[in-house]
Amino acid sequence: MKLHHSILIKSALLLVVLSCALWHCKDDDNAIVERNYQLVWEDDFSGPAGQAPDAAKWAYDIGIGPGNDGWGNQELQYYTDRPENAALDGLGNLAITARSESYGGRGFTSARLNTKGIFTQAYGRFEARIKMPWGPGIWPAFWMLGANIDQTPWPQCGEIDIMEYRGQQPNVIHGSVHGPGYSGGAAITKSFDLVNDRFDVDFHVFAVEWGEDYIDYYVDDTLYQRLRPESIPGEWVFDQPFFIILNVAVGGNFVGFPTPQTPFPQTMLVDYVKIYKEAI
Amino acid sequence: MKNIKLEFSALALLALAVIITVLACKRDLEDLEPATFPTTPEVFIDGFSEGLNYGAFGGSKVTAFDVDTEVKYRGAASMKFAVPDAGDPQGAYAGGAYFTSVGRDLSGYDAITFWAKASKSASIDVVGFGNDFGESKFLTTLRDVKVNTNWQKYIIPIPDPSKLKQEKGMFFYSEGPENELGYTFWIDELKFEKLGTIAHPRPVILDGQDQVLSPETGQQLTIGGLKVTFNMPSGIDQSVDAAPSYFAFSSSNPSVASVSDKGVVTVLDAGDAVITAKLGGADAAGSLTLTSTGQAVGPTSPAPPPTVNADSVISLFSNVYNNVNVDTWNTRWQFSTAEDFDVKIAGDDVKRYRNLNFVGIEFASQPIDATAMTHFHLDIWTPDPTDLPKAFKVLLVDFGANGVFGGNDDSSHELSFTRPTLVSNQWVSLDIPLSNFTGLVNRAHLAQLVLSGDLPNVYVDNVYFYNAGTVAPSGPTVAAPTPTNNPADVISVFSDAYTNIPGTDFNPNWGQATQVTQVPVAGNNTLRYSGLNYQGTQFGSNLDVSAMTHLHLDVWTNNSTALNVYLISPGPVETPVALTVPTSGWSSINIPLSQFSPVALNNLIQFKFDGNGDVYLDNLYFYKTGSSPTEPATAAPTPSYNAADVISVFSDTYTNITGTDLNPNWGQATQVTQAPVSGNNTLIYTGLNYQGIQLGSNQNLSGYTYLHLDFWSATSTSLKVFLISPGPAETPYTLTVPTSGWTSIDIPLTEFTPVVDLSNVFQFKFEGNGKIYLDNILFRK
C-alpha cells in the first residue's frame, strides 16, 4: 500500500483569495440544471440506538493512518470501529462521535467510515443530510476518493470533498477537488457561508452532482460551485468510480488544534446517504 | 486585572443621585408611552439612540464616559471611557449603565454587539445589559473582556431573547484601573443583532455542580452560579452570567423545599428534594439535592445578658456591648465542615454553628490586646448529647509581636470542657480565667478563636474578654457565724472552728470554669467560688458520715440565682439539694443527710456545687444531733456554798459584786450575751477569741481557797481562764472543753500564784474559741 489519502493543506489566505475569486464569477454557467436522477444506493441509518452501521454497506478505517502521521494531516484522533465512535442513534441517524479520551497512544478517538470495495460509482448525485458537530479543532467531512487509489496514488486518483467544515467556523462549509497539480493547499475550493445560521443546529443536505465535464456543489437547494475541466489547473481525473467517506477528525492541518473550550464528545449526525445515477 | 468588585443592586442605590439628575432633563413619559414596545436595535451608533439615558454607578468617576468624535470605529462618533488611575479622588473606577425609560422589545435579537479598542491591552471587568437601575431582572454580564489597541467585534449573547419583551437596561460596563493605572477604551456600533450564529446554549446553575446539602426547615438558600455558555460564531465557547429570572426553577418535592422565581430555595419540612432549572426549555446542568433535617433545635430564650461593666470588656459578639472588628466567624479552613448562621433568639443576635467539627474565628486584621483582661467569656447552647467524653474546646491564638501568623512568636492554648460544664439544651456560661490558657504566653495580639469538639450544633453568644478585678462583687464583711456543734459530733471539711479532715482538694480539675480561692473574711478563712458553673471538692479519703445526721454549711452570695449542693458516692451517685440564693448576709444551712438519698453516706468521696454567680462558703461539715445539744438544756447546777464564804462575780444564787463590767472593750471579737437557761441567767460567749471581765472593785482574795465556775460548751476546743492583778499580772488555767453537760470546777487559787497578786485581783479573762456558756463565777473559801 502506498500513500493513502489527502493532504488538504491550504492557507487561510489562499482560501480567502479563492473564495473571493469564485464568489464573483457569477455567470450563466452557474445556473441550476434539473437532472433526472434515480436512486441506486442509500443508507437511512434506521435501527436501534447503539447498533453498528450496516457492515454490508460500510467499512472502517482504523488507527492513525498508514504513515502513522494522522492520515497525512497530523490529525490527533485514533479511529476505531467501536460503537462509542460510530453507531446508530436510534432516531434514524448515524452518529460519528469524537471523544476526548486516551486511546491507542492518542488523546482523542473518532471514526471514519467508507464504502471502498463495497460501493463505488462514477458520476451521479451524491448527497448526505448531516448535522455538524462544533467547537475549535473539529473537522468533519463527507467526501470521496478515486477507487483506484491503491494502484494510482493520491492525488492522481482524485478527491472530491463534498463537504468539509471547521468547528471554529460553524456557519461555513467547503467544497473542493484535489488532483494532480492541485492538491493539498492548492486544491480547488469554494466556501459556502450560511447567513444568520450555522450548520450545527439543524440538518442540511450536502451534495455534488457529478458528470463527465462538471461537478456541481450544493448546500440544500443552493448551487454554490460548479467545476469544469477547464476550471481545473491540471488533469481532470474525475472520470472513474469513487467511493464515499464519512469521518470526524480532531485537529490536523486544516483545522488546527482543539482548545480547552472545545466541548467533547462531539457528534456528527448523518440522517442519510443517497447515491443517484442520472437516468438515461 | 480585577480591581473592582461590583454588586449592582447596591450600585443601583448608590447611583440614584446620578440618575435623578439624568432623569430630570428628559422629556415627559406621556409623550413616549407606546401601545407596543419599540424594537429599536441601536443603542449607540453615532450618538444616543432614541430614549437612551446614562447613569454613572455610585463611587465611580462620573465623568469617565464621554462621546468621542475623534476616535471611532465607523461613522461620526464613538463612546469613550476614561478609566481613572487608582486613588483618583473623583472616583475609583469607570462604570455606568445606559437605559431607556420605555422598555424595548428585544426578543427578536440574539445578542448585543459592539466594536471596541483600548489605549493598551486590558481586561474590562464587566460589560453587559439588563441593568435598568431597578430590578435588573434580566441582567446579563460578560466578564473579563480582553481589549487591545485594535478594533475588535464583541458579542454578548442574550441568554433567552424571548424574555426581553420590555427591557430597559441596554448596556452597562464597569472597569477599574489596570495595575493601578488608568487607561481609555472605546466602544462603537453598539447594537442588538440577530446573528443566528450563536448556538448551543448550555445553561448551568451552581456553576454546573451537583451540590448536596442537609439544611433544615426555615433555611433559605439562594441558587447561584447562574451562567449560560454559548458557542459563538468563532466556534469558541463563551459564558455570560445570567440573572435568575431567565431560569425556570423547579423542586422535585415542593412540600419539602420550594424555589422562587429568583432561585431562592426555602426549606419547608423534613425530607428530600432536588432543585433543578431550565433555561428556554433546556435543562441546566447542576442541581441542588437537599436532605432536610426538618426543624432545627435551638434555644428558645436568649443567653443570660452579661453584667460586666462595659469599661472592663473587649467584646467580640454581644448585643450588650460594642463589638470589636471580627474578620470572620468562619474562616472555612480546609477540612472544616462548620456552617455559620446569624440567628435571632427572642430578639437577641446569636451565632449558630452547624456541622461543627472546628471553626476558625479570626480577628487578625485588628488583633485584640487582652493583657489587661483576666477572663474570657462565652455562652454556648447545644441540642447535642453532652455525655462523657463529649467535649467542647476553646482555643485562643495569639500572633505575637509581629501580629501575623508564624514568625516563632505565636502562642496558643486550648481548653476542653465536658460534662458537667456542658449541659444539653440550656445556656452554659463559660467564664474562663485567661490564666487557665497556660500555653497562651502572650495575649497582646490575639488573632484567632477556634471552637471545636464533639458538638455539631452550637449556638454562641456573648463572646468577650473582661477584667474581673474591676467587677469583683463585694463579698461578706463579717465572718461566717462560728459553729456551735460539739466537735465530738462533727466531721469537718472546711472550718476554722474544727479540725478538718486531711487531704481535701478544694479545686479538682473537673473541667469547670469556676475560679476557687480561699480568702480571709474578718480573719476567718472562707472558700470563694467566682463565676460558678460547677465546682467539686475531692476528699482526701472516703468519708463515712453514716453516724452523722446533718450537713452544715454557711453560704453568702449576692448575685447567685441558682445553687445546688451535691454529695457524691462512688458510681458516681449524686443527689442535689437546692439552696436558697441569693442570701441576705450569711445563711447557715443544716441539711438532713436523708435528703441526699441514695448517696452512700458511709462512703462519700466528693462534694459538688453547681449554679451560678459568686458564692462564699464556710463551715462545711457533717454533724450529729441528739447526743450533742448545741446549748445547755438545763441550768448550771445551783451552788450550795454558804453565802458568807463566797465573793460572787456572776451568779443568780449570790449577791454579785457591784459595778462589774462583763464586756469591757479590750478589742476582742467575742460576742457577749446573757440569756436565761432554764430560767437561770447565763453568760454566753459566742465566737470567743478572748474576753475580759472588769470587776466592779479590786478584790482581796486572801482567805479564799477556790475559783468556782460552771461552764458548758459543745463547740469549743480551747478554753482558758485567767486571773489578773494590776501590772497586769496574769496566769492562765486551762479548762477541758468541749464539755459533756455542765462542768463545775473549783480551781485552787494557788494555781494563779505567785504571778497574780491574790490580794488585789481586778480582772478575769477567758481565751479560746467556740461558744461558751458560763455561770456561777465566784470565789469561795
For residue A166, is pLDDT > 80? Answer: yes
Contacts of A166 in chain B (CB under 8 A): 235
For residue A18, is pLDDT > 90? Answer: no
> How confident is the model at residue A188, as a pLDDT?
95
A12-27+36-278: which CATH topology? Jelly Rolls (2.60.120)
Contact B199 A261 (CB under 8 A): no
Residue with cell string 438515461: A280
**Is the CB of residue B194 less than 8 Å away from at least one CB of chain A?**
yes
> How confident is the model at residue B12, as a pLDDT?
45
Catalytic residue among A75, A127, A164, A209: A164
* pTM metric for this prediction: 0.56
Question: Concatenated DSSP letters for B41-103?
Answer: -EEESSSBPTTEEEEEPTTS-TTSEEEESSS-SSSS-EEEEEEPPTT-TT-SSEEEEEEEEEE
> How confident is the model at residue B605, as a pLDDT?
93
B201-292: which CATH topology? Immunoglobulin-like (2.60.40)
Reply yes or no on whether A164 is catalytic: yes
> How confident is the model at residue B83, as a pLDDT?
96
| Domain formed by B8-196, architecture | Sandwich (2.60)
- Give, in order, the Cα–Cα distances in Å from A216 to each of A29, A161, A225: 10, 12, 6
Using one digit for the tens of pLDDT, what is the confidence trace for A227-277? 999 989 999 999 999 999 999 999 998 888 998 888 899 999 999 999 999
Contacts of A200 in chain B (CB under 8 A): 199-200, 231
Cβ atoms B125, B147 nearer than 8 A: no
Residue of A167, A196, A201 with shortest CB distance to B195: A196
Contact B235 A170 (CB under 8 A): yes
Nearest to B770 by CA among B477, B507, B490: B490
- Least Cα separation, residue B53 to chain A (angstroms): 30
A197: closest chain B residue by CA: B196
* B95, burial (CB in 10 Å: exposed 0-12, middle 13-18, buried 19+): buried
> How confident is the model at residue B295, as a pLDDT?
83
Nearest to B692 by CA among B670, B659, B719: B670
Contact A198 B234 (CB under 8 A): no
Contacts of A198 in chain B (CB under 8 A): 196-197, 199, 233
Residue with cell string 431567565: B246
Contacts of B234 in chain A (CB under 8 A): 136, 168-169
- How far apart CA B638 and CA A265 sit, in angstroms, is 120
Tell me which amino acid residue A247 is.
N
> How confident is the model at residue B488, as a pLDDT?
84
Contact A197 B237 (CB under 8 A): no
> How confident is the model at residue B715, as a pLDDT?
80
> How confident is the model at residue B452, as a pLDDT?
95
Contact A201 B200 (CB under 8 A): yes
Cβ atoms A87, A110 nearer than 8 A: no
Instruction: From the options 3.40.50.10860, 2.60.120.430, 2.60.40.1190, 3.40.50.740, give the CATH code of B643-780.
Output: 2.60.120.430
> How confident is the model at residue B183, as a pLDDT?
97
B239: closest chain A residue by CA: A261
Contact A259 B236 (CB under 8 A): yes
> Which residues of chain B are modeled with pLDDT < 50?
1-29, 32-34, 471-472
Contact A198 B197 (CB under 8 A): yes
Question: Concatenated DSSP letters for B177-205?
Answer: -BTTB-EEEEEEEEEEE--S--EEEEEES
Q: Domain locations in chain B?
A: 8-196, 201-292, 323-470, 487-623, 643-780
Using one digit for the tens of pLDDT, what is the confidence trace for A48-69? 999 999 999 999 999 999 888 8
> How confident is the model at residue B35, as a pLDDT?
56
- How far apart CA B685 and CA B765 sit, in angstroms, is 12
- How far apart CA B419 and CA B386 sit, in angstroms, is 6
Tell me the three state secondary structure of residue B448: strand
Reply yes or no on whether A278 is catalytic: no
Residue of A136, A195, A201 with shortest CB distance to B235: A136
**Is the CB of residue B59 less than 8 Å away from at least one CB of chain A?**
no
Nearest to B100 by CA among B32, B9, B30: B32
Residue of A136, A166, A201 with shortest CB distance to B199: A201
Tell me which amino acid residue B415 is.
L
Using one digit for the tens of pLDDT, what is the confidence trace for A177-221? 999 999 988 999 999 999 999 999 999 999 999 999 999 999 999
Nearest to B431 by CA among B516, B368, B505, B518: B516
- Give, in order, the Cα–Cα distances in Å from A83 to each of A63, A88, A94, A98: 15, 8, 11, 11
- How far apart CA B255 and CA B271 sit, in angstroms, is 9
**Is the CB of residue B210 less than 8 Å away from at least one CB of chain A?**
no
> How far is C-alpha B71 from the chain's CA centre?
63
Q: Mean pLDDT in chain A?
A: 89
Rg (CA), chain A: 17
Contact B235 A195 (CB under 8 A): no
List residues of A whose CB lies inside 8 A of any B CB.
134-136, 138, 166-171, 195-198, 200-201, 259, 261-263
Element (H, E) at A219: strand A214-219
Q: Which residues of B, range 217-256, sit inside 8 Å of A by Cβ?
A: 231, 233-237
> How far is C-alpha A41 from the chain's CA centre?
18
**Mean pLDDT across the stretch A70-88?**
94
Per CATH, B323-470 and B643-780 having the same topology is answered yes
Instruction: From the options 3.30.70.240, 2.60.120.430, 1.10.3720.10, 3.90.1170.50, give the CATH code of B323-470.
Output: 2.60.120.430
| Domain formed by B487-623, architecture | Sandwich (2.60)
Residue of A196, A259, A262 with shortest CB distance to B194: A196
Q: Domain locations in chain A?
A: 12-27+36-278
Nearest to B540 by CA among B589, B610, B588, B493: B493
Tell me the three state secondary structure of residue B317: strand
